[in-house]
Amino acid sequence: MAEKPVLWITRKLSDYTQARAARDYQLVLNPEDTLHTAETIIEMSHKVDGILPCHSEMFSADVVARLGNRTKIVANYSVGIDHCDLPAFQARGIRVTNTPDVLSDATAEVAMLLMLGAARRAVEGDRMVRDQKWTSWSPSFMVGQQVSGKRLGIIGMGRVGQIVAKRAQGFDMTVHYFNRHRLEPALEKNAIFHKDLHSMLAVSDFLSLNCPATEDTRGIMGPEAFSYLPDGAIMVNTARGALVDEEAFLAAITSGKLSAAGLDCFATEPGGNPKFARHDNIFMLPHIGSATQETRDAMGDRALDNLDAFFAGRTPVDLVA
């Protein structure tokens, strides 16, 4: 019987995922769930046939250039691939895959959570009750914004964006979207396409960021973009922190251009931006958009399906490099 390939799983994954992987691979695990340095990644690449990393492992051009020849595939446990220098991988002939599709519902749920939490002043309300400072009530008490019936702008109408649109339509929101290409009517589902970002921002009472971080989209929400939003708009971000110029965002929060925001991702992760904590109208989560048991297991299946295909001599379904 052929020896099983050696697979390094860089972070602690679900019990289901690790049990499935153990059937078909010789595993190198990380039960302490520690974050690895570039040097550790390079060192391990000389000892394993494949790597199953998370978004927390950075594969810069320099790191990829120094990977061992033994490693033939990097099967990401994430849909985002901005932590991977794909041209560098292609130059080395190392295959790279990701896990699309399976994160979409969970991430869209968090987008709606952030939207509702920001609009209804969840941070203030939660703190008030926890600190035993809820001592009165009046018609003017804790008045927020209603989500139902408002206009939602979506930047990035891919898998997650389409599900956010579907969920938002359940709140009778009118959906507008900016995307590289207009969707087919069957996928568009009455959402209104904008070729121009600024025209969409101008009609966005709520704005949801759902596009990947690329050279074209990094910093897409900067000073000019914020200026086009209606006064008092609410922005939510479940995609990547790199999409937002954080100083411009803070200026929009301070001026009232944004009345509130909901964030699940930040330019610096982990940790976020400490300046944001000064603002009760910023509802924040620690990048948990895909953090459901069902999604974590499905991500493991997708990553392992890609690995199984590769080591069986087939082309992985989710090949990105």
Q: Identical fold at 6-101+293-311 and 104-284? A: yes
Segment 17-27 shows an average pLDDT of: 98
pLDDT bin (cut points 50, 70, 90) of residue 303 is very high
Q: Give 200-235 pLDDT, tens digit per residue.
A: 999 999 999 999 999 999 999 999 999 999 999 999
Q: Is 240 noted as a catalytic residue in this protein?
A: yes
Residue-level pLDDT at 182: 98
Segment 8-22 shows an average pLDDT of: 98
Q: Give 57-114 pLDDT, tens digit per residue.
A: 999 999 999 999 999 999 999 998 999 999 999 999 999 999 999 999 999 999 999 9
Torsions phi, psi for 154 (to 5 deg): -120, 125
Sequence-ordered list of residues with C-beta below 8 angstroms from that of 126, at least 6 positions apart, any chain:
none
Q: Domain segments of the chain: what residues?
A: 6-101+293-311, 104-284
Q: Give 136-183 pLDDT, tens digit per residue.
A: 999 999 999 999 999 999 999 999 999 999 999 999 999 999 999 999
pLDDT bin (cut points 50, 70, 90) of residue 272 is very high
Residue-level pLDDT at 43: 98
pLDDT bin (cut points 50, 70, 90) of residue 294 is very high
Sequence-ordered list of residues with C-beta below 8 angstroms from that of 173, at least 6 positions apart, any chain:
147, 148, 149, 150, 151, 152, 206
6-101+293-311 CATH fold: Rossmann fold (3.40.50)
Residue-level pLDDT at 33: 97
Q: Is 194 noted as a catalytic residue in this protein?
A: no
Using the predicted structure, report yes or no on whether residue 236 has a pLDDT greater than 60: yes
Using the predicted structure, report yes or no on whether residue 1 has a pLDDT greater than 80: no
Q: Rounded to an integer, what distance in angstroms lies between the CA atom of residue 262 and that of residue 256?
A: 15
Selecting among 36, 55, 240, 302, the annotated active-site residue is 240
Segment 183-189 shows an average pLDDT of: 96
Residue-level pLDDT at 273: 97
Residue-level pLDDT at 247: 98
Q: In Å, how far from its chain's centre is CA 30? A: 23
Architecture of domain 104-284: 3-Layer(aba) Sandwich (3.40)
Residue-level pLDDT at 279: 97
Selecting among 194, 287, 296, 302, the annotated active-site residue is 287
Q: Is 198 noted as a catalytic residue in this protein?
A: no
Q: Give 27-59 pLDDT, tens digit per residue.
A: 999 999 999 999 999 999 999 999 999 999 999
In the Cβ-directed half-sphere of 277, how many Cα atoms lie within 13 Å? 5
Selecting among 39, 43, 247, 269, the annotated active-site residue is 269
